[in-house]
Structure 1
Amino acid sequence: MSSPLIAVDIGGTTVRVGAVSPDGTVTDIHREPVNPLSCRDQVARLLRGAATRSGAERAVIGVPGRVHHVRGEVGRARNLPGTPLDTLSALSLRRESGLEITLAGDTELAALGETYFGAGESTVTTAYLTLSTGVGAAAVSGGTLLAGLQSGFQIGFLPLLGTDRPMVDVLGSGQRLHLLSREIRREVRTVVELEDLARGEGPAAAAARSARADLSAAAIACAVLLCHSTSAEVLVIGGGLGRALGAPLLEEVSAALADEATHHVGWPVSVRGAALGDDAGLAGAAAWFKATGSPLHLPVTSKG
């Protein structure tokens, strides 16, 4: 697409909007905390402002949940617990903003951003794993997004570390730090704080080491599942927590994937850190139509 395009990334805590060019360059970025009780009105206001500044007539919106690609509706979004999801439909947002709206999974857009403009490669199969407020995944093969009627790869819901353990959306994300904080009755907000605590002695340090081990184990389990389900040749790990865990996590995942006797991934997988940071989802909007072949949604007045 050569005409101006607005990209929106609705996260669990922050909503970001920007203008994106066909080469994935993002400008005019505005961000503010998500207002879960009036998220539609908030997003519509940001869309109208961005459209006034850019002259765009279309927007691609990434939502942290299961998106029905044809109907333009959100079916489930754990990280937006107070938001009436019917208000985040393409139809509702079009009415409020006056723009043509395409909804996508936020991780799908981040995967496209990294594949086309960041650390991934569009000529092979690139899988994308995000560790942030939750755990998300998506994949792009030969430049095409791997997706059906609904956004797939909802692997965060799986108990990959054992059926007696919480799902990996809890154990492999920032939620694990919240569990640790409650357990030791001390706030642990960042990976730096976690690792400083883990180097100490006593029950709190032991709990911190257990939390750090969970983060690695969850990432490895998700990486193995993604590689087996997509035959990925490149695995990009992003998200705020994924970036904070940095090179040590990339090395752990790479070593696990190379351990064919344990994980049975019988081909080389290049494990890379995300390159675009928080802009990956916004940049990915520029590749959405190329990677999917169409806006996908039915005419926005139809329920499908």
Structure 2
Amino acid sequence: MASGICSYLPELLCSFPSIDNSLLRAFKKSVDGGFKAFVRAYGDILDTAVQPLQWFLNWLQDLFVDAPWIIFLLALTAVIHITGRDARITAGTFLAMIAIGLVGLWEDTMVTLAMVTVCTLMAIVIGIPIGILMARSDRAQSVVNPILDVMQTMPSFVYLIPVVMIFGIGKVPGLIAVVIYAVPPMIRLTNLGIRLVDREVLEAADAFGSSSSQKLFNVQIPLALPTIMAGINQTIMMSLSMVVVASMIGVGGLGKNVLQAITNQFFTIGLLNGFALVAIAIIFDRTSQAYGKRLQKHTEVIHG
């Protein structure tokens, strides 16, 4: 049908005009060459700059893996209980971790937990200051928002290309890729939470002579904490989802097992590791939600 219609129309209307292939090849070659030249010139400097991340990740991973399982389980359950204050979440965490250990996935789960912990901490350290900057400046928001749009819509596999070219294969490149993928919700929800603070509260702070920094740390951030916690929740969820993709470049843990199960078509192994990831995600999700609700109630009492 299309060829029949095009036979009666000018060629320009039937085939979309494109840039000459030689020009496209020259452009791609120049961009790739420039990036490779950048890596050759500054690769060692960047490797040195991220070395502390490697040390911290290795230390935390060794701590989680080498700790007696009963001590880690009790410590994790205690942290979950103190944070969530919900007996059902605490009991569910205990039972889920026992089940993970019984199927032989305890060590891989510890590796994944260490990776997600470091990624979440990095996302918080990077995301909250950028979110505060966006909340305090409409111009900064107009600049950062398009970047966040690109970061959230870019296929996750694409993030692996530049980090591998710069840092090679290993844990740190995977960590950086996970953070890039997971940090946008942290930035957006920090910005949103601060912007949603009631103007009357800010006017009251101004009336008491509060400075800009005092308003930020004593009024805006405390009132925005429930929304910021939602950002942390989303960051954890996205980190867990990206860990499987990052296993392609040397990140171990449950993601590596899932990748091997896909490669070798081991349905049971993939299912068990997938359920372990789901269990961890549910634990963190329910706990952070419960903590966010507590913060919300506390904020409403103060605001009221």
TM-score category, normalised to shorter length: under 0.3
TM normalised by structure 1 equals 0.26
Higher strand proportion:
1
Higher helix proportion:
2
TM normalised by structure 2 equals 0.26
